[in-house]
A and B are shown apart, each in its own frame.
Chain A
Amino acid sequence: MGVFIAQLLTGMANASALFLVASGLSIIFGVTRVVNFAHGSFYMLGAYVAVSAIAMMPGPFGFWAGILLAGLAVGLIGLIVEIVVLKPIYKSPELYQLVATFGVILVVQDLSLIAWGPEDQMGPRAPGFKGVVHILGQAVPSYDLVLIVLALAVLGGLWVLFNRTRAGVLVRAATEDREMVGALGVNQSVLFSAVFFLGSFLAGIGGAAQVPKGGANLLMDFSILASVFVVVVIGGMGSILGAYIAAMLVSVLQGFGVLLLPQSTLVLMYVVMAVVLTARPWGLLGKPEAAGQAGPGVVPEAPMRPMRLPGRLFVLALIAGLALLPLMGDPFWRILATDILIVCLFAKSLHFILGTGGLVSFGHAAYYGGGAYVAALAVSHFAAPMELALFLAPLGAGLAAMIIGWFCVRLSGVYFAMLTLAFAQVLWSIVFQWSDLTGGDDGILGVWPASWAAGSVYYYLVLVLAVGGIITLNAMAHTPFGYALRAGRDSSLRSEAIGINVKLVQWAAFVFAGAMAGLAGGFYAFAKGSVFPNEMEIARSFDALIMVFLGGVQSLAGPITGAAAFTLLKDQISRFEYWRLILGLTIILIVIVLPGGLASAGERLARLIGRTPRNAEPAP
Chain B
Amino acid sequence: MKLLKMLGVVAVGAATLGCSVAAFAADTIKIGDINSYKRAAAFSVPYKQGLELALAQINAAGGVLGKKIQVISRDDQAQPGEAVKIADELFSRDGVVMITGSFLSNIGLALSSYAGEKKHLYLAAEPLADSIVWEKGNRYTFRLRPSTTMQAAMLAEAAAAMPAKKWATIAPNYSYGKEAVAAFEKALKAKKPDVQFVTEQWPALFKIDAGAEVAAIDAAKPDAIFNVTFGSDLAKFVREGETRGLFKGKLVVGLLTGEPEYLDPLKGEAPTGWIVTGYPWYDIKDPAHVAFVDAYKKMWNDYPRTGSLVGYDTMKSIAAAIEKAGSTDTEALVNAFEGLNVATPAGKISFRKIDHQSTMGAWVGTTALKDGKGVMVDWKYDDGANYLPSDAEVRAMRPQ
Query: Could you list which residues of chain A lie within 8 angstroms of chain B, going by C-beta atoms?
Result: 3, 6-7, 10-11, 13-14, 109-110, 113, 118-122, 125, 130-132, 138-139, 141, 143-144, 212-215, 217-220, 223, 227, 251, 254-255, 258-259, 262-263, 265-266, 330-332, 335-336, 339, 432-433, 435, 440-443, 445-446, 448, 524, 528-530, 532, 534-535, 571-577, 579-580, 582, 585-586, 589, 592-593
Contacts and interface: CB of A to CB of B under 8 A. Distances in A.
Contacts of A263: 173, 202
A571 B89 CA distance: 10
Nearest to A335: B88
A443 B106 contact: yes
B38 A109 contact: yes
A293 B38 CA distance: 39
A441 B129 CA distance: 11
Nearest to B72: A575
A263 B79 CA distance: 24
B79 A14 contact: no
B85 interface: yes
A132 B244 contact: yes
B41 A335 contact: no
Nearest to A594: B3
B200 A530 contact: no
Contacts of A577: 37
A54 to B, nearest CB: 14
Given A141-B243, A573-B10, A579-B75, 19 more contacts: A14-B211, A109-B38, A119-B264, A139-B245, A214-B232, A255-B211, A258-B209, A259-B219, A262-B216, A265-B209, A331-B92, A335-B88, A335-B92, A440-B174, A441-B106, A529-B117, A532-B81, A575-B74, A589-B2
B206 interface: yes
B3 A589 contact: yes
B272 interface: no
A118 B261 CA distance: 10
A14 B209 CA distance: 8
Interface in B136-153: 136
Nearest to B43: A118
Nearest to B77: A574
A191 B378 CA distance: 63
B267 to A, nearest CB: 6
Interface stretch (B107-115, B154-162, B330-338): B107-115
B113 A432 contact: no
A31 B110 CA distance: 45
Interface in B1-19: 2-3, 6, 9-10, 13-14, 17
A110 B175 CA distance: 28
Contacts of B308: none
A12 B377 CA distance: 39
Contact of A528 (B84, B211, B243, B264): B84
Interface in B93-149: 93, 105-106, 109-110, 112-114, 116-117, 129, 131, 136
A141 B80 CA distance: 40
Contact of A214 (B17, B39, B201, B210): B210
Contacts of B9: 582
B79 A585 contact: no
Given A122-B266, A441-B106, A534 B235 contact: no
Contact of B6 (A120, A122, A528, A589): A589
14 contacts: A14-B211, A119-B42, A141-B244, A144-B211, A214-B236, A255-B211, A258-B209, A265-B173, A265-B202, A332-B92, A529-B84, A530-B114, A532-B80, A571-B85
Would you list the 5 A-B pairs with minimal beta carbon distance, nearest first?
A: A118-B41, A10-B211, A214-B236, A445-B113, A255-B212
A199 B383 CA distance: 54
A119 B38 contact: no
A138 B215 contact: yes
Contacts of A574: 74-75, 77
A88 to B, nearest CB: 11
A529 B113 contact: yes
B81 A534 contact: yes
B265 A445 contact: no
Nearest to B6: A589
A395 B295 CA distance: 59
Contact of B243 (A120, A122, A131, A441): A131
Given A217-B232, A263-B202, A254 B212 contact: yes
A130 B3 contact: no
Given A119-B42, A532-B80, A258 B216 contact: yes
A149 to B, nearest CB: 16
Nearest to A592: B2
A265 B88 contact: no
B199 interface: yes
Interface string B247-268: 0000000000000010011110
B264 to A, nearest CB: 7
A528 B81 contact: yes
A446 B113 CA distance: 6
B197 to A, nearest CB: 12
Given A443-B109, A573-B10, A580-B38, A120 B232 contact: yes
A575 B17 contact: yes
A122 B238 CA distance: 11
Contacts of B136: 445-446
Contacts of B175: 435, 440-442
A118 B215 contact: no
Which of B38, B75, B203 counts the most A-chain CB atoms under 10 A from its CB? B38
Nearest to B211: A10
B80 A534 contact: yes
B42 A118 contact: yes
A525 B105 CA distance: 18
B25 interface: no
A258 B77 CA distance: 30
B212 A529 contact: no
B89 A335 contact: yes
Contacts of A118: 41-42, 44-45
A214 B239 contact: yes
A336 B93 CA distance: 12
A593 B2 contact: yes
Nearest to B264: A119
Contact of A330 (B92, B219, B269): B92
A131 B243 CA distance: 6
Given A139-B245, A335-B88, A258 B239 contact: no
B231 interface: yes
Contacts of A121: 265
B395 interface: no
Nearest to B80: A532
Contacts of B211: 10, 13-14, 141, 144, 255
Given A219-B206, A534-B79, A593-B2, A259 B269 contact: no
Nearest to B113: A445
Contacts of B89: 332, 335-336
Given A330-B92, A335-B85, A529-B113, A262 B243 contact: no
Contact of B131 (A139, A143, A442): A442
B92 A219 contact: no
Given A132-B245, A532-B106, A265 B232 contact: no
B174 A113 contact: no
Nearest to B266: A122
Contacts of A592: 2
B215 A7 contact: yes
